[in-house]
Each structure stands twice: as structure tokens, then as C-alpha cells.
Structure 1
Amino acid sequence: MRLLAGCLRGSAVLVTLSVLGGLVYQLALISMPWLIERAVDRGVVGHDDGALLRWSLAIVLAGVAAAGAEMVLGWFATVSGTLQGNRLYLALADRISALDTRALGRFGEGDLGMRGTRDVDLVRIWLMGFGSFVTGLIGFAVMIVAIVRLDPLLAVVCLVCVPPLVWINTYWFPKRFGKANTALSAAHGSRADAVEELLSASAAVRGIGGEPELVRRHATRSAAVSEHTLRTARISANWAALSPFVPAAALAAGLGLGGLAVLRDSMTVGGIVAFAGWMSMLVMWVGVLTLRLSQLSQAVTAARRLQEVLTIPPAGAADSGRLMPRQGTLTAVRVSAEAGGRTVLAPVSLTARPGELVAVTGPMASGKTTLLRILAGLATPAGGTVHFAGTSFDDVAPDRLHARIAFVPQRPVTVSGTIADNLRLGADLTDDDLREACAVAALDGFLAGLPDGLETEVGERGSTLSGGQLQRLALARAVLRRPAVLLLDDITSAVDAATERTVLERLRAWSEGTAVVCATHREALLEAADTVVTLKEPPAAAAPTTQETEEQVAHGG
């Protein structure tokens, strides 16, 4: 509820304007039965053409006012909901980008996607309906007061329906609907994870006959989504049907009693028409309020899921506010890492100065990728410290850190679009800038042979590019940012020896003021490096080792 209240405060002016529009709409709408009552009693029954004309004109004006006010309500409600939905999405994206691997490990990729789409949309939809919810409650109260003024007996009939309506709409169905919707949201997240696995792992397991298991897992989770959707829909349908039934039954009873009152001349014909109009509105607004309450229940569930991510403290939250220099030395002192109760990176130290090339090597499972992720600020070490230009990573906000340290993974990720889109990533860069970066990454020859050049589509997940081309595209993308430290995770593993030599030569010429750290097992890179850090395979025991496991060998020293 605090998150939802914060969204309302964030668009307080827009929400207020939508509520004011809704109030005018409600008052104009509620005035119509009263105006009709006057037109019937004084114009029709009283045979007064002038009165009939005046009251008919008043009804038309009330209708125009209601239409204009509803436009105001809808406009400002839509704007406020859309703005806050976008802000919530950006806040979620910012927090996810600031979390380390350990924190993100609590959520699946598909589940995070559902939180950023479905859950944000549920909050946005509730925000868009907030104005009509508030004014609907006010209109509900005003209509009851109007009926009380009309006739005490009809007021009793109207008030009798209030307790069951309150019980139905504030306790019985919200409680059941909220529980069912929470289960549905979890099922959607679980299925989204299965979809992500099916898309990303299908090609890898197809050749060994594992794809049917991924399909079966997706089918099972889809069946769970269907089951929870039907359960939620049944509760929603019963809620939507029972809520209007109560005031509809009161309307039937009121028409019977009101008709008898008209026959006894204790009520006018216009009075019974006004009562029928107000009770019909009551039925309609009970349906609207029921919808808004169900949206509130969904929004609360969605907000709870969003806060599970937003309330996680980001890595490097204790920002000292210090500016990061454009160049500096990267230093790691006895950093280690653990996962699942075992050591995955034994304590290791290294130093990378501007213009130096540091190679990190070692056997499989020795923690080369883990070390690079720690140096990039993407993972938190279990022990040890990392500094850039004398400043600890713990004292730097992630966005400031990532502006100086670039990480290129062994399996790069592309975005949908062209090669230029993947290089720019929204930055203001010219085509010449892109071509220069491609030249550093030895991608210029491939680019020159493409009919569309930089405007070539990369395809789904980079399907039109080979593994080596993807690696060099990711390298060019990092080069464009001119980082102080460039971390490369075996980025020449998918290229031939000649291309590797070209990449090394151009990278060394480019990196005069940049420290380059590369995890590799390739001889060419190890020979070209200024310093080689050799990792040893960590012990199998869960307890972290206390023995230094790195070996630094300075070429020529």
C-alpha cells in the first residue's frame, strides 16, 4: 500500500484534477433523475409546456456537463496512470541493474520480466481507475441521501442493501480474489521462466534429446496458469454478478412499494421515476466499484511483488559521492567468492594499470568469469576488496562504477535491431564513431562486405552473426564507451588465430590509457600480456581456503 500511495503522491496534481472531473460527472449524472422528476411532475402531469421545456433543457445541459467532466476524468486519469507506470518501470529497471548476481539469483529472468510488464500494468490500470473509484464512492453516498429525501420507506429499502454490499465488496470476495490472484501472479512468473529457458536453451539441448523436457516443463506451467486463471475468473464472475444483484433486488422491492405509494397519492409519478433512476445508477455504480476493488486487489498483489525487488538494497548503496576519474588503477586484494556453500574463487590479488594488458588464466572452474564479474562490480566478493583509483567499490554507486569499467562477456547479448542499434545503445554517436570502434575490434572487414553495412539486422538473439562476430561486436560496443578499465571474458575464443592477432594488435594500440583485463586460455593473449594471473582450482571443501592461490608473472621480469 505504501508503494501505491507513493504513486498517487507522485501524480498528486493529475489525480486531483481527475477526481474533480469525476465529482462534476457524478453530480451532473445524479442530478438527472431529480430533473426528470421535476419535468414529469410539473411539465407532464401538470400539463405545463413551458416547465417541460425548461426542465428538458436543464436535463440536456446536465448531460453535456457529465460528458465534458467524464472526458476530463478520463484524460487526467490516463495521463497520471501512464506516467507513474513508466516511472515504476524505470525504477524497477534501475534497481535490477544495480543488483549483484547473488541478489538477482532469487528471481528467474522470466519472473523479472513479468514483474516489469504484467505487475507494472496492474498498478497502472488501478491508478487510471482511482479517480472514478473515489468519485463513485461519493456518488454512492449522495444517491442514498437523495433516496432518503425522496421517501423514508424507500430509504429503508435502499439502506437494507448496504450491509450485504459492504460485506461482499470489502471482505468476502476481496479476500478470496486476492489469494487467488497472488497464486496466479506466481504461476505467470514460473511460466515466464519456462518460456525463457525454452527460448535460450532449446538449441543447446536439441542435439542431445533434451528439448522435449523443456516443452513438457512449459506445458505443465502453462496448465498451472490456466488453472489459476479459471479459478480467479470464477471468483471475479461471482463477485461481478452478486454485487449488482443486491441493489437490483432492492430496486424491484422499491418499485413495488413506490408504485403502491403513487396509487395512494403519497408519492408523485416523478418521484417513483427518480427513485428508479437512482437505483439503476446504484446498480451500475456497484458494478464499477466492484471492478475498481478487484483492480485494487490485483494492484496490491502486483505492488507486493514489485517491492520484493525494489526494497533489495543495491550493491554499492553507500555512495560517497566522489567522482570517478577517467583513468586509474584497478586493484583487487585477496578477493574470493562462494556459491552454494562452496568456494568458487579462492583468494586472488591483481593490479591493472592504465595501458597494461593483464591476462587471467587457469583450469576450468577456477573462477575466471567470477573474478571478472567481481572486478566489474556485477558480483559481490565473499572476501577481499576491490578498488579503482584508490576508491573502494563499496563507496561507489553502481552507475558511476559502470561508467568507468566495461565488461564484455564470453557470450554477448544483442538487442533487437541493427548492428548500429547494438553499438549505440541509445548513445549519441556518429557512424564514423561506430566504424572506428569496429576497426579496433577487427570487425571492419566483415562490415564492409555487408550490403546494408551498419543497418544490417542482427536477427533474433544475434542469429545472423557467428559466435566470433558477436564477440567482436560486443568488444566494439565496449570500446565506444572509452572505459578506464576493459574486462574481457575470453572474447577471442570463437575466432581464428589470424583474427585474434589482429584484435590484439589493434586493442593494444587503442588502449593507451585503458587497463585491459582478459580471462583467456589462448597462447597468443598470454604471450602478449604484460602480466599473467594464474588461478588454481579452488578446494572442494565448503570452507574458504586461507592460502593465496594466485601467481603473478610479469613478462620480462
Structure 2
Amino acid sequence: MTTTPAPPAPETREGLRLLTACLRRRAGLLGLAVLGGLLYQLSLIAMPWFIERAVDQGIVDDDSGALRTWALAVLVAAVLAALAEMVLGWFSTLSATLEGNRLYAALADRIATADPRALARFGEGDLGMRGTRDIDLVRTWLMGFASFVTGVTGFALMIVAIVRLDPLLAVICLLCVPPLVWLNTYLFPKRFGAANTALSAAHGRRADAVQELLSASAAVRGLGGEDALVARHHARSAKVTEHTLTTARVSADWAALSPFVPALAIGAGLALGGLAVLRGTMSVGGIVAFTSWMSMLVMWIGVLTMRLSQLSQATTASRRLQEILLPGPGEKPQSTERAALPATGDLIARELSVALGGRTVLPATDLHARGGELLAVTGPMASGKTTLLRALARLTLPATGTLTFAGTPLDTARAEEIHQRIGFVPQRPVTLSGTLADNLRLGAGHSDEDLYAALHTAALDTHVRALPEGLDTEVGEGGTTLSGGQLQRLALARALLRRPAVLLLDDVTSAVDTTTEHLVLTRLRTWAGSGTALVWATHRPAVLDAADHVVTLPAAGAPAPTEERVTTGG
């Protein structure tokens, strides 16, 4: 699969804008996570202070009552820390999962409805990586956002606690800050970001190679071209390995050096604090508290380092997502205000045309699809029949003209509502790995009776009932266990289950015999009744004879399409 060169990626601020929008959408849940995180940090910071009191007042002063009191305080703080961490984890995970699912849906919707010219520069494998790995990186960062905020707050509170303990020890602690800031906000984020950007691009290129290897190997095997595809996959996999190791080296250096700085401070503070204890200017409990707080600092630095690396990864990933989500070069941004679509209505196209690569692939076309009627679209090869159906389904954006459903312009409607009202069955349908039932339901709660009813309309129920495992029969990758005609009718049944107001059919009986075609036609007209409009791109005489109206598309460069009312059939 060849792709056009990609334009420059969106700047870092575009990636940060996406991350900021994610935070705003989940502000309520993240706020609860932050509250849990703050209680967690306060409980942890309080524990060394309680231990200090237990050592000085209970052990050193030989006061068992004080020892029991402060030991109980440590226990209460530990319980609060555990409960608060549960709150932190629950709301962080919930917000990240919800936002990740929203990004999945937004990306899928964008890919389904975008102008193909806007996506032509991306390979299928690369799009898959953006919809999986990149969204997962954003989700992982969002899951750790609350702990990052509360960790920074805990660091500041710990500095205050050490100042209260001994100003000299606080100076030692503060001396850690400049190198930590330099390491964690400049040196390693810059190096890690560059390495991760290269790694993400390498993953996308390798995914393209995998997709090409799987989809094209059968076609080139007889030509001796499979070795070239395998070699390309190996070369791109080697690049992934190279960039993975580079990213891992930067990450390992970052993870090692960041905690090393406060570890040095622990050694220096322990020496100075020990001397202060010997001089009698600091208590034994105080040096225990200092050591505990500095040990926490080492742990927090490790967590903060991980969160900063996740931010770097998420920024790179969000830039890649914005390349898809934002309008491409020359593409008009869609309005944020969306009109609601009625449940039923006529689909009307006026002067609808489509151009790709500066060439008109569909001339200006008028079409009126009414509920309960069958409208056939015909024409010579490459006249634009499939392009017209894709434009009617808003899977291809028209160059000129208007398209309305029940009087509402579709360019003002929400994409999900368009998909609910207008169904599209391609000539070469896509199947999922799984059973027949999985491919029909697509996650919806249809009963087996519903599935068989749809299969009956598609004239496939007899075949499915005859299978040993019925609806539980595995379809196989790419639908290899079904014939071409069976695949078309399976996709038709899947669309029928959604009960759209308009059903667009792209030559769905091209691979079946005339007897089966007659069954499909008869049952479809009964199923549609007076509610659903059928728009059928075809060259089959039986469909044309059964149609209420026929739109004939001209060959490229010929006069405009014509529509005629059919008085025979339908």
C-alpha cells in the first residue's frame, strides 16, 4: 500500500491541547482522585512524624502510654493511606478508561467519515497503531495524572516538615532540587521525547509492513515477491528494535540518576543528623523521621520520573492523534454545533459530486430516496456507483452539492446519528474473527431469534441452520469459511439488525445466483415495508426491474445522470 508523504506533524502545543481537553472533560473524577491522593500523601508524611514521637516520647523517655498512643496513630495513618490510595486508584482508572474509550470512538468516527484525501498519507497499519498504542499512552498518562499532582504536593510538604525538624537538613534536601529539576524537566524529557517520537513512527511503519505482508502475500506469492515483503518487514522490525533500545537506554539513565541525587542527600543528612544527635541538638526520633522522609523522597522521585516520562510519551502520542483528528490540508473544519436527525425521512441529494486528486469521479447527481421504495443506481464500470453510495453515507465527502435527511443537511448532523439512520453494505464486506453471531451482533444485545430473522431476509438462514454449530460457527479470518455470496448476505443481515431509515446496498447480490437474488429482493421489499428506503447500486437486471426508480450514471465525461420512474416491477 503506497501512501503520500505526510505533512509536518502538529506542534507540541496541539498535543498538549488534546491532553488539556482530556483533563477538562474528566475534571470531576480527577478532582476526586486528587482528593484521595492528597489524603494519601498527608497520611504517609504524618507517619514518620508519629514515629518520631513514638521513639522520643515512648522509647527514649520510657513511657509505654505514649508509645501505645503514637503506635496507634501510625496504625490509623496506615489505614487512611490504604483507603485513600484506593480512592486515588479507582477514580484515576475510571477517568482514564472513560476518556480512552471516548478517544477510541472519536478516532474511529473520524476515520469512518473523513475525506479519503485527508487519510491517504497514512498506512492502515499506522492508523491501527494510533488507535491502539497511542491512545493507550494517553490513557496511561491520564491514569497517573492525579498521583503526579499529589506527589508534587507531597514533596513540598515534606520539605516543610524537614525545615521544622532542622534547617541544616532542609538545606541538604533543597540542594537536591536544582539537579532534580534539570534532570526531570530538561535533560531527560528532551532526549526521551525525541527517542519516543522516533519509536512511535517506527512502530507505525512496521505495522504498515505487517498489514501489507498479510494482505498482499497471496497476490505476490506466485510472482516471487513475498521475499521482498518479508525483507521489508524485517528491516522495519530492526528499526523498531533499534529505537526501542535507544528509548530504553534513555529511560534507564533517567530512572537511575533521578533517585541517586536524593540518595546522596540521605547519606549526607544521616551523617550531619547523627552528629547533631551526638551533640544533643537533635533527637533520635528526629533522625529516624528525616531518614524516613528522605526514603519517601527517593520513592516519590521514582514515581514522578515515571509520570514525566509518561507525559512525554502522551505528548508524542497526542500529536499523532491530532494528525488524524484535526482537519487535514485543505479540509474544512466541521462545525461544533450539530443538528438532531429525525428517526425517519427522505434522503435527498442535489447536484452531489465527488472529486479525488483533482479528478471528478462522480458528476453532479440528483437523487431522492423515499421510505418504502427501492431506488436502483446503475451505470457502466467506473461511473461512480460505489462513490455515490459512500457519499450518501457520508463516508466520502462531496466536492459540491447538498445532501439532506428529512430536510436536515447531513453536514450539520452528528456522525453517530448519520450512521444510525443510514446503513451501508459494501460489495466486499469486512468480517471479524469470531463466530457468525459475533459478526451479526457487533456487541449489541440481539437474541438468536433476531439474528435468524435477519438471516432469513438475507436468504442465509437455511445455510446457517444446516451448519453443525449454527450461529456459533467460526467465520475465520477474512471470512475464509464463507463464499463471496454468503459474505455479502451476512453483511446485509448485519445491517438489517440496525433497522436504518435508509439502507445503501453496493451490488450485494453480485455473487449469488438468480434464485437467491429473487429471494433477497422479495424479502427485502417485505422487510422495508413503507418505512425504509432502499438504494441499490447494481447492474443486475432483476434488481433494475424490481426498482421503483432508477438513477443511471454516465460514463466519465458524459452528460449528467438521469433518473427515471420504473412502472414495471417494484
**Normalised-by-shorter TM-score class:** 0.7 to 0.9
RMSD over aligned Cα, in angstroms? 3.1
CA shift at 1:288, angstroms?
Answer: 1.4
Name 1:445's counterpart in structure 2.
Answer: 462
After superposing the two structures, state which structure 1 stretch, 83-92 or 149-158, moved more. 83-92
Paired position in structure 2 for 1:408 = 425
Q: Distance in 2 between matches of 1:503 and 1:386?
A: 28
- TM-aligned CA distance change 1:43 to 1:231, over 3 Å: same
Secondary structure at the aligned position of 1:284 is classed as helix
Q: Which residue of 1 aligns with 2:7?
A: none
What amino acid sits opposite 2:242 in the alignment? Answer: E
Which residue of structure 1 aligns with residue 339 of structure 2?
Answer: 321
State whether structure 2 residue 518 is matched by structure 1 residue 518: no
Q: Which consecutive unaligned segments of at least 5 residues does structure 1 have?
A: 540-546
- Aligned with 1:403: secondary structure? helix
Structure 1 counterpart of 2:561, from 531, 550, 553: 550
1:410 deviates by 0.7
1:543 matched residue in structure 2:
none
Pairwise CA distance, 1:434: 3.1
CA offset digits 1:309-335 (Å, max 9, x no partner): 34448997587736446353x443443
SS at match of 2:194: helix
The change in CA–CA distance for 1:422 and 1:64 in structure 2 (over 3 A counts) is: closer
> Is contact 2:374-2:547 (8 Å) kept?
yes
Corresponding residue pairs, total:
549
Q: Paired residue for 2:180?
A: 165
- SS of match in other structure, 1:518: strand
Q: CA deviation at 1:290?
A: 1.0
CA–CA separation in structure 1 for the residues paired with 2:175 and 2:555:
77
Report the Cα offset of residue 171 of structure 1. 1.5
For 1:294 and 1:33, the matched residues in 2 are separated by 29
Displacement of 1:133 in angstroms is 1.5
1:179 to 194, 200, 221: 194
2:385 aligned to 345, 349, 368, which one?
368
2:508 aligned to which of 460, 474, 491:
491
**1:531 offset after TM fit, Å?**
4.7
After TM superposition, the structure 1 stretch with the greater mean CA deviation from structure 2, 106-115 or 289-298, is 106-115
- Deviation string for 1:459-504 (max 9, x for gaps)? 2232221111001111222334444433221222222333334333
Q: 2:354 aligns with which of 318, 321, 337?
A: 337
Deviations 1:420-476 (A, max 9, x none): 333333445444443333233222331232223333332223222111100111122
Q: What is the DSSP-based 3-state SS (H/G/I as helix, E as strand, rest coil) of the residue aligned with 2:539?
A: coil
- Residues 45, 293 of structure 2: 8 Å contact kept: yes
Residues 89-139 of structure 1: per-residue CA shift (max 9 Å, x gap): 334344444434344435433333333322222222222222222222122
Matched residue, 1:544 = none
- Residues 479 and 232 of structure 1, relative CA distance in 2, 3 Å threshold: same
Distance 1:84 1:121 in 2: 10
Alignment of 1:423-502 (within 5 A): 423-502=440-519
Structure 1 counterpart of 2:539, which letter?
H
Residue 290 of structure 2 is matched in structure 1 by 275
* Residue matched to 1:535: 553
The match for 2:12 is: none
Unmatched 5+ stretches in structure 2: 1-15
**SS across alignment from 2:459:** coil
Give how far 1:162 is off. 1.1
Against the structure 1 CA distance between its residues 460 and 274, is the aligned structure 2 distance closer, same or farther, given a 3 Å change threshold? same
Identity, in percent, stands at 68
Closer, same or farther: CA 174–75 of 1 in aligned 2, 3 Å: same
Give 1:194's match in structure 2, choosing from 209, 216, 222: 209
Pair 1:242–1:429, CA change in 2 (3 A)? closer
Task: Check 1:391–1:47 CA distance in 2 against 1; reply closer, same or farther (3 A cut).
Answer: closer
Q: CA deviation at 1:238?
A: 0.8
Task: Tell me how far 1:409 sits from its aligned partner.
Answer: 0.6
Aligned 8 A contact 1:100 1:315 in 2:
no
Report the Cα offset of residue 243 of structure 1: 0.7
State how 1:252-267 maps to structure 2 within 5 Å: 252-267=267-282
Q: Distance between the aligned counterparts of 1:484 and 1:60, measured in 2?
A: 64
Counterpart contact for 2:33–2:146, Cα < 8 Å: yes
Partner deviation per Cα, 1:509-533 (whole Å, 9 max, x = no partner): 5445344333333344445445544
- Contact kept, 8 Å, 1:161 with 1:247, in 2: the verdict is yes
The residue number in structure 1 matching 2:11 is none
- Secondary structure of the 1:380 match is coil
Q: CA deviation at 1:247?
A: 1.2
C-alpha spacing 1:427/1:66, structure 2 compared with 1 (3 Å): closer
Deviation at 1:382, TM superposition (A): 1.8
My pick for the range that moved more, 523-532 or 134-143, is: 523-532
Q: What SS class does the counterpart of residue 170 from structure 1 fall into? A: helix
Which residue number corresponds to residue 238 of structure 1?
253
Per-residue deviation, 1:265? 3.4
Displacement, 1:286? 1.2
Q: Which moved more, 1:191-200 or 1:347-356?
A: 347-356
The TM-score normalised by the length of structure 1 is 0.87
Deviation at 1:553, TM superposition (A): 5.8
CA distance in 1, matches of 2:129, 2:141: 17
